């Protein structure tokens, strides 16, 4: 009975659509969490000229990735799919390579960061193209993600 009442409050999507939308949101969620972890790792480990500027910029980026991950996760809940942001799930599902654990010179750190943000942006674009056939409201959420990532790419690249 509870299940039926809960389902009645969900947007009108078929089980198949719900599953596919949930999958695309979940894959985006884990990549945004992975970016936020990479951002902090670099925030702590960059060295060289321009340290303070990039150190502070990385914290702004981490905040933005965390905000976006929240928007994506809450969209999944809104369509009835529980998001999974647990550390082992992020490690398993995210396609992003981890950065090295060592200190890293700033130009190398910027290149590492740009490559990963660009990869995520490309994959999220593919996902929102797919969502355009299923659910425009979820597509809008992922478009917001790519708009933010592409602005970040411009700002990070400008430091090179
Ligand atoms: Fe800090």
156 C-alpha to center of ligand 1: Å? 18
| Residue 83 CA, ligand 1 centroid: distance in Å | 27
Please give the distance, rounded to the nearest whole angstrom, from the Cα atom of residue 42 to the centre of ligand 1: 10
What distance in angstroms lies between residue 131's CA and the mean position of ligand 1's atoms?
36
Predicted TM-score (pTM) of the model is 0.93
pLDDT category of residue 8 using cuts at 50, 70 and 90: low
For residue 65, pLDDT over 60 is answered with yes
On the question of pLDDT at 15 being above 80, the answer is: yes
Query: For 40-54, how does the pLDDT look when each residue is reduced to its tens digit (9 = 90+)?
Result: 999 999 999 999 999
Whether residue 139 is predicted with pLDDT greater than 60 in this model: the reply is yes
SS3 readout for the chain = CHHHHHHHCCCCCCHHHHHHHHHHHHHHHHHHHHHHHHHHHHHHHEECCCHHHHHHHHHHHHHHHHHHHHHHHHHHHHCCCCCCCCHHHHHHHCCCCCCCCCCEEHHHHHHHHHHHHHHHHHHHHHHHHHHCCCCHHHHHHHHHHHHHHHHHHHHHHCCC
Dump pLDDT digits (tens) for 77-88. 999 999 999 999
Measured in Å, residue 111 CA sits from the centre of ligand 1 at 21
Q: How far away, in angstroms, is 41 Cα from ligand 1 center? A: 10
């Amino acid at each position: 009975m509870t299940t039926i009442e809960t389902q009645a409050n969900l947007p009108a999507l078929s089980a198949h659509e719900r599953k596919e939308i949930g999958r695309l949101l979940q894959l985006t969620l884990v990549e945004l969490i992975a970016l936020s972890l990479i951002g902090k790792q670099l925030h702590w480990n960059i060295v060289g000229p321009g340290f303070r500027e990039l150190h502070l910029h990385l914290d702004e980026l981490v905040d933005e990735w965390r905000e976006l991950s929240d928007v994506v996760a809450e969209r999944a809940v809104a369509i009835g799919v529980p998001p999974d942001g647990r550390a082992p799930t992020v490690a398993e599902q995210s396609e992003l390579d981890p950065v090295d654990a060592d200190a890293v010179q700033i130009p190398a750190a910027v290149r590492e960061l740009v490559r990963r943000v660009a990869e995520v942006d490309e994959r999220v674009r593919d996902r929102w193209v797919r969502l355009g056939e299923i659910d425009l409201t979820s597509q809008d959420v992922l478009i917001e993600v790519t708009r933010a990532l592409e602005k970040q790419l411009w700002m990070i690249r400008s430091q090179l």
